[in-house]
């Protein structure tokens, strides 16, 4: 085996795990991807993908055909174990939102029997502070013979959906080990496939860094979303306002939308709030502003629907952002669900990236939605929607939450 080549197990083959496993395989590592869903395992082993991400299908096919990527329901022995499973939040009785690291704990318990002295365990899942230490504690509770004999580190992913393949390689990375030796071991591994700079710290700082990155973005988006609601009541175009304000050399206001989705920005700030409920006032307020935005959009749609006896409402987009099929914490999906539940009218939803695998409620092709809708609501600025002939919109009531049809 080449001195840089490793046997790697990747736990979790979702939006981060699958691209990571495939990339590692194309870089010459022997990779076993592990997922709990048999359908996912079978799909990937056949060289296909179960999620939409630009270039991912090509990367997976290349990785599988090379023989370096195989997929299974259970892990085996390896040199490196990467945990890339979900870390959602859960609601408590007082409606507070706290981190749920159950998937991380289960994945750790699953790999424990396969570990040996000298192995490296990497937590990539975005996690509350202290989770990497918890991973090590679980391993040692199951395998006391490995105390002080394995390496454990956190290396949070920081990629943008729609650009994951490139950013996995090019982006700078933060690595935080539970000790200096673990940090050094993880850095050595990431240097085999990352071209960005690698910064070493401790595991708690690395965990907090990822939470802070997404909380920073959430606060800035909340400012834009709050502006859009203020402008709506004052009959001012928020899009023109932001464009003009950004002419100031030190102002860079982001674009508003129907809310904030995805597994990072919509979730991670709550991890900070849960651990710092008294101090995290700004972070909490920003999260509340962004969580409220879908309901502001719903009220706006309902007001327009009152003009019609039996309105047909076309909801364009269900994913949380353009160019992908990821529905996690999607404000577009939340808006569509509420319109249906409230019986506002006949709702026709369309998302070109779901490819028929969305089963919760019927979806329609774009031509049908454009033809039959009285009200068109642009919720996701997919390229297919941005290119719609404006002549087809002139007889519709249009609610553009993305500013794509200005």
Active site residues: 210, 264
| Distance of alpha carbon 14 from alpha carbon 35, whole angstroms | 9
């Amino acid at each position: 085996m080449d001195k840089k080549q490793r046997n790697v197990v990747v736990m979790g083959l979702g939006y981060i795990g699958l691209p990571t496993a495939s990339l590692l395989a194309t870089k010459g590592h022997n990779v076993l991807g592990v997922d709990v869903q048999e359908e996912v395992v079978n799909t990937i082993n056949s060289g296909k993908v179960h999620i939409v991400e630009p270039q991912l299908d090509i990367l997976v096919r290349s990785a599988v055909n090379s023989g370096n990527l195989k997929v299974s329901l259970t892990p085996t022995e390896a040199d490196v174990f990467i945990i890339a499973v979900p870390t959602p939040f859960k609601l408590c009785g007082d409606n507070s939102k706290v981190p749920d690291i159950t998937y991380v704990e289960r994945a750790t318990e699953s790999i424990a029997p396969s570990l040996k002295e000298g192995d490296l365990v990497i937590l990539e899942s975005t996690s509350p502070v202290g989770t990497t230490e918890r991973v090590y504690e679980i391993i040692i509770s199951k395998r006391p013979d490995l105390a002080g004999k394995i390496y454990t580190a956190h290396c949070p992913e920081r990629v943008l959906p729609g650009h994951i393949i490139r950013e996995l390689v090019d982006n700078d990375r933060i690595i935080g080990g539970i000790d200096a030796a673990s940090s050094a071991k993880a850095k050595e591994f990431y240097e085999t496939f990352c071209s960005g700079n690698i910064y070493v710290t401790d595991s708690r700082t690395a965990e907090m860094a990822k939470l802070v990155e997404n909380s920073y973005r959430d606060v800035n988006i909340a400012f834009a979303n709050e502006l859009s609601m203020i402008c709506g009541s004052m009959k001012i175009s928020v899009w023109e306002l932001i464009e003009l304000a950004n002419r100031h050399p030190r102002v860079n206001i982001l674009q508003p939308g129907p809310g904030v989705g995805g597994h990072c920005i919509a979730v991670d700030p709550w991890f900070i709030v849960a651990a710092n409920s008294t101090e995290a006032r700004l972070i909490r307020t920003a999260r509340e502003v962004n969580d409220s935005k879908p309901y502001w959009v719903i009220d706006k749609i309902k007001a327009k629907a009152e003009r019609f006896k039996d309105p047909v409402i076309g909801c364009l987009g269900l994913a949380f952002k353009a160019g992908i099929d990821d529905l996690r914490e999607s404000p577009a999906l939340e808006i569509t669900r509420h319109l249906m539940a409230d019986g506002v009218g006949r709702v026709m939803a369309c998302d070109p990236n779901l490819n028929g695998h969305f089963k919760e409620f019927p979806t329609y092709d774009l031509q049908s939605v454009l033809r039959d809708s009285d009200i068109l609501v642009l919720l996701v600025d997919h390229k297919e929607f941005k290119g719609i002939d404006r002549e087809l919109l002139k007889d519709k009531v249009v609610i553009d939450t993305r500013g794509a049809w200005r």
